[in-house]
Structure formats: structure tokens, C-alpha cells
Structure 1
Amino acid sequence: EFFGRPRGFNADRFDFTPRSVTWAQNAFLKRFSAIETSRHQVSATAIG
């Protein structure tokens, strides 16, 4: 569980249609950018 609990699908029923892949990618990128933002804020304060 790297990104918390999956919402809206589970691995058993995951459908690899372009729409699903796009949705999953967007969800991943949204989460990833939030993590990156918090990491960069911490790094910026640490570096000064």
C-alpha cells in the first residue's frame, strides 16, 4: 500500500482499458505530485 487504500477499483476486477489506465495514471500523478510537493517543502526548509 504505497499510496494508501485504492478507491473505486480492486486488483481482481481491474480493467485495463485506455480509460481505466488514464484514470489510474491521473490518480497516481495527483497523489505523486502531492507527495513531491510536501517533500520539496521539507527539503527547502532543511537546505535553507
Structure 2
Amino acid sequence: MKKSETIKNIIDLIIEYTGSENFAELEWLFSELSTAKIIEDKESKK
């Protein structure tokens, strides 16, 4: 399973448990995840 699929599954679970009322928090989570992904990509290219 690809990492992006894993992240998507985690996000799906979070949405399922929190409902769509917490959109700001989900937005924050997306930005955190994408930041982490960028850092991870840079690290793996070294």
C-alpha cells in the first residue's frame, strides 16, 4: 500500500469520527500532513 493511500485512509477515519463540523481542524491536519510529506520527500532524496 502506498503512503498516500495510508494517509487518505487516516483522513477518512478522522472525518468519520469527527464529522464535517470540524472543518478548520481538518484543514490544519491536511496542511500538517502535506508539510510532513514534503519534508519526508526531501529527506529521502538525500
Scaled by the length of structure 2, the TM-score of the pair is: 0.49
Scaled by the length of structure 1, the TM-score of the pair is: 0.47
Q: Which has the larger Rg?
A: 1
Going by fraction, where is helix more abundant, 1 or 2?
2
Higher relative contact order (CA 8 A, sep 6+): 1
